[in-house]
Amino acid sequence: MSVVEIQTKVYEGQKPGTSGLRKAVKVFQQEHYTENFVQAILTALGDQLTGSTLIVGGDGRYYVKEAVEKIIRIAAANGVGKLIVGQNGILSTPAVSTLIRKYKTQGGIVLTASHNPGGPNADFGIKFNCDNGGPAPDNVTNQIYELTKSIKSYKTAPNINIDITKIQTHNLVVDGKSFVVDIIDSVDDYVALMKEIFDFPSIKTLLQGSSSRPKFQILIDSLHGVTGIYVKRIFGLELGVDDASMVHVEPLEDFGGLHPDPNLTYAADLVNTVRNGTHDMGMAFDGDGDRNMIIGKKAFFVTPTDSVAVLAAHLDIIPYFQKTGIKGYARSMPTGAAIDRVAAKKKVECFEVPTGWKYFGNLMDAGRLSLCGEESFGTGSDHIREKDGIWAALAWLNIIAKLNKSIEEILKDHWITYGRNFFTRYDYENCAIEDASRVMAEVETKIQDPSFKGTKLSSGNKVYVVGEADNYSYKDPIDGSVATKQGLRVLFEDGSRIIYRLSGTGSSGATIRLYVESYESDPTTFDKDAQEILKPLVGIALDLGKIKEFTGRNAPTVIT
Ligand code: VG1
Ligand code: CO
């Protein structure tokens, strides 16, 4: 097999966002566009590149197969020693992280736009994960981006044709050097890891029922994303869940037209079925399998903020943490602070990091973090370096099996012990970039005024006093790196918070995210609806950013 060098031109805007490069499929399909970015990833590996092993796989969306084919050829031509590729190009994001760690590779390339829709007219994405299994940190993605700005050519071995549908090892010689492509089962290694972490026998007893307790009925919705194949193996084969309880479990290139984002809006089917049915628990996952939504009987909603806090409170039930100990907790900045209260009570270290899983990795590598979460339906632990949807569902089941309580009872007990952090997020998707920028500028100007601190803001009969306000920046406690401009924060004296951010995962336009949180210790409030409790604060937030005026929107696209 011979190598050729292809001349190319620079494409503007190949800057990775919160989680990799995400653009419309049509953008990736432009001549040399995908190749340029892949070459930049490989070049950025520097000394590690020659003879390296990399994992390659994606969420099964449209264009994954084409991209895998291109990566195989470009990797071969650049002196990579071995690629481990999921069958049909399919690997969930948590599975890629698992494989990088298990086979101690130099990293992996994840082909996904995660929760963004798929298909020829929707989105695609490419993300690089480093040798710890986690998304590349800012210094690496910046380096990749710099390389894309000056690229003149890329190398490829155009005659390589590998059948990625069959599990098989291909030994090639490229330019006189050995090059191996190992097509592997997409699920095996991940399942093995889950079985080491959790108490599968007791989860199985819970799901099958026993003489002392009826079957705990679950309904799983994979939204036609990648988790379908993992769900069928783990819940179907290993845990004996019947087919009718697992829906949308065939990965499809366009997710069957669904928006593979597990929230109350896009997983409405699941929510309605559970609301009207007899299920004890419903769960949904996103396109690439790193997000999860958990609901209880009659669709009792568990916010991601509460979910990670409840897991934190009961983490010692899970066999993995009995072995490793509980090293620390963390959440992303906009995530509600419920887990902080658990950490304080249990005297465990707790960190706040910017949005995006890449910020948790250093803490985990340094042995200071066991469990973390994001309000965006991301929950995970140091078993890998990505958030992990199926892991979160299994963690809940393991805890339910032990506590022998319903999800609602577990939550209510939690609030009695710790109080309740009411939380909501408003997303204004696909706004004009100028409109979204005006909202952010409006808030930033206001909060930078020295007199803003101490201001009383009111809505209805509620008055909130501003304690602090800033544009959030974070210094990594391990390597000292600093991330600035991570979101505008208004922190009130009573602990309530309003946060404004622009999304870094969209492929066009701008999405404003507004996060609102308030803490209540009065048990008479616990049963109240979050929207009702947070209404005054939301009103203040909308006014402060003049959101209606600048965006022309009367309501957000998604409320969580
Ligand atoms: C969103 C979420 C963030 C998450 C990121 C990647 O980012 O807010 O918490 O880490 O998506 O998730 P942004 O910049 O759009 O707010 V995934 O499942 O799309 O990889
Ligand atoms: Co995802």
Q: Does ligand 1 come within 6 angstroms of the Cβ of 355? A: yes
Per-residue pLDDT reduced to its tens digit, 225-271 = 999 999 999 999 999 999 999 999 999 999 999 899 999 989 999 99
Centre of ligand 1 to C-alpha 355, Å, is 7
The rounded distance, in Å, linking the Cα atoms of 307 and 305 is 6
For ligand 1, say whether the CB of 155 is within 6 Å of any of its atoms. no
Q: Whose CA is nearest to atom 10 of ligand 1?
A: 356
Choose one of 285, 293, 332, 355 to mutate for the ligand 1 pocket test, by most ligand atoms within 8 angstroms of C-beta.
355
Closest CA to 513 of 342, 298, 333, 363: 333
- For residue 317, what pLDDT band results from cuts at 50, 70 and 90? very high
CB 165 within 8 A of CB 186: no
Rounded percentage of the chain residues whose pLDDT exceeds 70: 100
Whether ligand 1 lies within 6 angstroms of the CB of 115 is answered as: yes
Whose Cα sits closest to atom 19 in ligand 1? 114
- Residues facing 35 on adjacent strands: none
pLDDT of res. 518: 92
Is the CB–ligand 1 distance for residue 227 below 6 Å? no
Is 426 a residue whose pLDDT tops 90?
yes
**In the predicted model, is pLDDT for residue 415 greater than 90?**
yes
Grade residue 1 by pLDDT with cuts at 50, 70 and 90: confident
Percent of the chain's residues with pLDDT above 90: 90
The atom number, within ligand 1, closest to the CA of 114 reads 19
Angle between helices 200-208 and 389-403 (to 10 degrees): 70
pLDDT for 64: 97
Specify the pLDDT at position 459.
82
Range from 244-253, 271-280, 323-332, 550-559 carrying the lowest mean pLDDT: 550-559
How far is residue 462's CA from residue 107's CA, in Å, rounded to a whole number? Answer: 51
Question: Which has more confidence, 463 or 134?
Answer: 134
pLDDT at 351: 97
Whether the pLDDT of residue 131 is over 90: the answer is yes
- Write the secondary structure of 363-408 as one string of H (helix), E (strand) and C (coil): HHHCCCCCEEEECCCEEEECCCCCCCHHHHHHHHHHHHHHHCCCHH
The finding on whether 378 has its CB within 6 A of some atom of ligand 1 is yes
Residue 39: the pLDDT is 98
pLDDT above 90 (res 491): yes
Atom of ligand 1 nearest to the CA of 287: 18
Task: Find the mean pLDDT for residues 213-232.
Answer: 97
pLDDT at 548: 92
Residue 60, φ and ψ in degrees, nearest 5: 85, 5
Quote the CA–CA distance of 543 and 516 in Å, as a whole number: 13
Average pLDDT over residues 377-383: 97
Model confidence at 506, pLDDT cuts 50, 70, 90, reads: confident
Any idea which residue has 């943490």 for tokens? 321
Tell me the catalytic residues: 114
pLDDT value for 412: 96
From atom 11 of ligand 1, which residue's Cα is the shortest distance away?
505
Atom of ligand 1 nearest to the CA of 332: 9
Interval 123-138 mean pLDDT: 95
Is the CB of 513 inside a 6 Å radius of any atom of ligand 1?
yes
For 142-151, what is the mean pLDDT? 96
Lowest mean pLDDT among 71-75, 107-111, 268-272, 505-509: 505-509
Q: How far is the CA of 17 from the centre of ligand 2 (A)?
A: 13
Query: How many Cβ atoms are within 10 Å of 336's Cβ, its own excluded?
Result: 27
Task: Say how far apart CA 506 and CA 389 lie, in whole Å.
Answer: 21
Architecture of domain 4-186: 3-Layer(aba) Sandwich (3.40)
386 pLDDT more than 80: yes
CB 371 within 8 A of CB 311: yes
Which pLDDT belongs to residue 111?
98
Q: What is the pLDDT of residue 113?
A: 95
Q: How far is the CA of 461 from the centre of ligand 2 (A)?
A: 40
* Average pLDDT score over residue span 356-364: 94
**What ligand has the least distance to the C-alpha of 502?**
1
User: How high does pLDDT run on average in the chain?
Assistant: 95
User: How many A from CA of 19 to the centre of ligand 1?
Assistant: 7
Pairing of strands 474-475, 462-471: unpaired
In which residue ranges of the chain is CATH 3.30.310.50 found? 420-559
Residues within 5 A (CB) of ion ligand 2: 114, 286, 288, 290-291
pLDDT the model gives residue 462: 82
Cα 12 to middle of ligand 2, angstroms? 25
Residues 6+ apart with CB under 8 A from 405: 413
Question: How far apart are alpha carbons 260 and 391 in whole angstroms?
Answer: 18
Are 3 and 154 in contact, with CB atoms under 8 Å apart?
no
Say if ligand 1 is within 6 A of residue 114 CB: yes
When pLDDT is averaged across residues 353-357 and rounded to a whole number, the result is 94
Pocket test of ligand 1: the residue of 375, 426, 505 to mutate, having most ligand atoms within 8 Å of its CB, is 505
* Distance from residue 84's CA to the centre of ligand 1 (Å): 26
C-beta 504 within 6 A of ligand 1: yes
Atom of ligand 1 nearest to the CA of 115: 19
The stretches of 419-511 forming alpha helices (DSSP H) are 433-448
Domain 189-418 - what CATH class? Answer: alpha beta
pLDDT value of position 170: 98
Q: Please report the pLDDT score of residue 55 as a whole number.
A: 98
**Residue limits of CATH 3.40.120.10 in the chain:** 4-186, 189-418
Looking at the CA of residue 356, tell me the nearest atom of ligand 1.
Answer: 10
Ligand 1 mean position, distance from CA 442 (Å): 24
Ligand 1 atom closest to the Cα of residue 127 is 20
Residue nearest to atom 13 of ligand 1 (CA): 503
Write the CB contacts of 449 (distance below 8 Å, at least 6 apart in sequence).
none
Q: Got the DSSP string for 271-313?
A: HHHHHHS--SEEEEE-TTS-BEEEEEGGG-EE-HHHHHHHHHH
* pLDDT value for 463: 85
Domain 420-559 has CATH 3.30.310.50: yes
pLDDT reported for residue 285: 98
Pick the residue whose CA is nearest to atom 6 on ligand 1: 19
